[in-house]
Structure 1
Amino acid sequence: MQYLTISCLLNFRLHMADGRPNDFVSRPTQSRLGISQCRPTNRIVFIKTHKTASTTLASIFERYGYSRNLSFGVGVGTHVISSYNHFQRDMIHRSNTQHQYHFLTNHVRYNREEMEAVFPNATYVTILRNPVSQFESSFGYFDFAHSAGIKDVDDPIGTFFQDPDKFYNTPGFYFKNQAKNGQIYDLGLDTNLQTDKIIFHNVFTSLKQELDFVLISEYFNHSLVLMKNTLCWNWDDILYISKGIRNSRIRYQISPETKLQIQNWNALDKQLYDYYNQTLWKKITEYGPGFWNDLAEFEGRLGAIQDECIDTSKRDVSDYREDNIVVKEEARDICKALALNDVQYTALIRKRQGAN
């Protein structure tokens, strides 16, 4: 069984050609009219939201940047810079006296002014998920039922919404900021300010102006096709293997009534999601009929590489919360690179940049 441990990753070497891995040599973007004149975007700040497929997306950015020897802003500790604090420039490990970097991919809350100082002229990207499914995912993954003292009831989420303020304010509630409007929280709005409609309006207005591209988790492949064109990347650049797949033991069935309660509880996230979901579909319409051909092209490539790489008879359950894939024994280097997650890529990046 080919589990990818950190020790083997640090010894992992991709085959190189002109300083780049063979599997990742960049090619000009093709269009129906010939070679595109756009230049690939190589400086990206990814605002990593919680439980939105953000780990899978982070690994796409990390594979792209690592394979091209681009620089990453990493924290001084783990792969999480901070889940609670707004980004500050002194959070970044200054590798080899470097003060500016190409990529930010690890968890830290949005703070545009400080980010600009470390990642100048970057493209800002994030991903959002329907607040109902995002809340249910967070509820199971972060074990909110345990924090609220309702772990042993038949319907923990339904029970939570019998008196959400009471359970939410239980002393010692773990990861509380992710239990209500967690996505707008990651994008900078403090929990204690979320009842102020004027402050929310101002933050939302700023995000509309400042975020360059927002993916929608429910339409992940659709979003990637659009992102590929926005960044002037190639099909191979956006291939992926899903990460952080939640174990079925921490999934919940939700009644229609509870879904409405979740939407009301996460009303700010719903406004955010609805706006950017509509924006996504507007972009698809503007793309034209060729979008569906390009989506089919991408999903065909994606299916082929996943069939080649994934051993469907095995699963990695080393983290009890997750049910992750295992690559085939004699898989190509591209498969091994696609299988690396955020923690593993960050370890490789830290080692390369002398940030250990």
Structure 2
Amino acid sequence: MAAPIAIMQEASRYSDVTDCVTCEKKPSDHVVFIKVHKAASTTVMNVMLRYGLSRNLTIMLPRRYNCINELGTVSKRDVLPSITGKYDILCNHVIYNRTAIASFFPSDTKYVTILREPFEQFVSGFMFYRYVYPINYLKNFTSANPVHEFLSNPRKYEPANPMYSFTNNRMSLDLGYPDVSFKNMTYLDGFLKKLGKEFDLVMLAEYFDESVILLKRTLNWTLKDVLYISSNTFSKYKAKLNISVNDRLAYRQWAKADYALYQYFYDVFWRKVYDQGATFFQEVRTFRYLRKLMTDYCQQNRFIRSSVDLILQETDWSPDITITKNDCRVMLTAELNLIENMKRDYMFKFKDKVTRLLHKNSSWVYDYATKKLKHR
């Protein structure tokens, strides 16, 4: 095997800090990440999956596609069964329902989610579900600026069932807002306070690296655990839009719940950051430097059959970090492909136990499992 590449750390060193702020605490192996649509959540999901795979944890996987349930419930019929009876990590799409989700996870589970500035999240969702994964109510606009056309009269275009909308306070819906019609805003204050108590961390997409370092510290993970390569970015069509101030004002009136949600957790986020002290920003700067080295390495070696490992040398925030070709492969694998690969591995690894468990709960899943196994 070829010798690894050693990369010297050029960022400033700080002798008064150690590898991690909470080194002596046990890392959290039980994490629920609520994946909010079009808020950089696919990148966070990849971090969660890599952590679970590297430690042989039980990851809750949906039985169909990449979504567990988007109707506000979670049942055994929605997920592949756990061999141990409990799960360690959840990071696929599901509407947040604390009672339903908590029944599958240990009591010490940490709860995390992510939000994005509401107008940016709306535009990203609008264009994604218009061009990339077209849905009926968004793909039929004919004007040069479909966002402006939609905002001129949102109720004219919205689906009859708000659960199928990606443009009506979608972040609040993903987090379980109790009135999906968003006609009764009296729930809002209680909803925000409830989420504030139940979530250990709410990340912000606009401050992604700061959010990732908060995630690392909240979960007591290592710097390598939270390294990432951005996933599912989408800007091809957005550049063609001519967004006006009036468009932004119209959306603010339409998405009052999402704006209140974002502002509430924006304030919470920065209080958490400032509580970390000055070393927090030093760690963020070091993290960005290491992440760039890793991203360059992974991109440059993406199509090379064999390559040497990358060694990111010791910093005040971590010992030497080894990045392998396999690390890069997992980081660069698209979400749907990664989930499908994990399902196949799951079926093959536990084929005898799984087919019995699946047959007990659902005959169509049993058929699905046995067909998959025959093609291994």
TM-score class normalised by the smaller sequence:
0.7 to 0.9
Shift of 1:151: 2.5
Match 1:350 to one of 343, 346, 355: 343
- SS at 2:94's partner residue? coil
The residue aligned with 1:288 is 277
- SS at 2:70's partner residue? coil
Measure, in 2, the Cα distance between the counterparts of 1:278 and 1:308.
36
* Contact 2:123-2:238 at 8 Å conserved across structures: no
Shift of 1:194: 2.0
- SS at 1:214's partner residue? strand
* Contact 1:309-1:335 at 8 Å conserved across structures: yes
Consecutive aligned runs of 4 or more in structure 1 exceeding 6 Å deviation = none
The residue aligned with 2:7 is none
* Contact 2:158-2:165 at 8 Å conserved across structures: no
| One-letter amino acid of the counterpart of residue 158, structure 1 | H
Q: Output one character per residue of 1:160-184: Cα deviation in whole Å (capped at 9) or x when no partner.
A: 1222221225x7x997422110001
Q: Output one character per residue of 1:62-82: Cα deviation in whole Å (capped at 9) or x when no partner.
A: 011011110011122122112
The residue aligned with 1:60 is 47
| Shift in alpha-carbon separation, 1:151–1:250, aligned structure 2, 3 A | farther
| 2:216 equivalent to 1:223 | no
| Shift in alpha-carbon separation, 1:31–1:210, aligned structure 2, 3 A | farther
| Shift in alpha-carbon separation, 1:188–1:306, aligned structure 2, 3 A | same
- Residues 75-86 of structure 1 correspond to what in structure 2 (within 5 A)? 75-86=62-73
Match 1:300 to one of 289, 310, 330: 289
The residue aligned with 2:257 is 268
Shift of 1:86: 2.6
| Shift in alpha-carbon separation, 1:165–1:233, aligned structure 2, 3 A | same
* Contact 1:89-1:115 at 8 Å conserved across structures: no
- SS at 2:103's partner residue? helix
| Shift in alpha-carbon separation, 1:34–1:81, aligned structure 2, 3 A | closer
The residue aligned with 1:112 is 98
* Contact 2:126-2:138 at 8 Å conserved across structures: no
| One-letter amino acid of the counterpart of residue 205, structure 1 | K
- SS at 1:226's partner residue? helix
Shift of 1:278: 1.5
- SS at 1:45's partner residue? strand
The residue aligned with 1:254 is 243
Q: Which moved more, 1:330-339 or 1:219-228?
A: 330-339
The residue aligned with 1:25 is none
Shift of 1:92: 2.0
| Shift in alpha-carbon separation, 1:31–1:335, aligned structure 2, 3 A | farther
Shift of 1:31: 7.8
Match 1:209 to one of 186, 194, 197: 197
Q: Output one character per residue of 1:219-252: Cα deviation in whole Å (capped at 9) or x when no partner.
A: 1101001111111111111111111111503553
Measure, in 2, the Cα distance between the counterparts of 1:33 and 1:159.
54
Given the two structures, how large is their TM-score scaled by the length of structure 1?
Answer: 0.80
Q: Output one character per residue of 1:84-142: Cα deviation in whole Å (capped at 9) or x when no partner.
A: 3432344222143x321100111111111111110122100100001100000011011
* Contact 1:56-1:341 at 8 Å conserved across structures: no
* Contact 2:114-2:203 at 8 Å conserved across structures: yes
Which runs of no fewer than 5 residues in structure 2 stay unpaired? 1-14, 308-324, 348-353, 355-368, 370-376
Match 1:101 to one of 80, 87, 93: 87
The residue aligned with 1:327 is 302
Shift of 1:146: 5.8
**How many residues are treated as equivalent by the alignment?**
310
The percent identity for this pair of structures is 27
Measure, in 2, the Cα distance between the counterparts of 1:284 and 1:68.
28
The residue aligned with 1:320 is none
Measure, in 1, the Cα distance between the counterparts of 2:59 and 2:262.
28
Measure, in 2, the Cα distance between the counterparts of 1:95 and 1:202.
34
- Larger Rg: 1 or 2? 2
- SS at 2:114's partner residue? strand
Measure, in 1, the Cα distance between the counterparts of 2:232 and 2:100.
29
- SS at 2:65's partner residue? coil
Given the two structures, how large is their TM-score scaled by the length of structure 2?
Answer: 0.76
The residue aligned with 1:23 is none
| One-letter amino acid of the counterpart of residue 280, structure 1 | F
| One-letter amino acid of the counterpart of residue 297, structure 2 | E
Give the CA RMSD over aligned residues: 2.5
| 2:328 equivalent to 1:340 | no
Which runs of no fewer than 5 residues in structure 1 stay unpaired? 1-29, 312-325
The residue aligned with 2:78 is 91
Measure, in 2, the Cα distance between the counterparts of 1:135 and 1:208.
23
| One-letter amino acid of the counterpart of residue 93, structure 2 | H
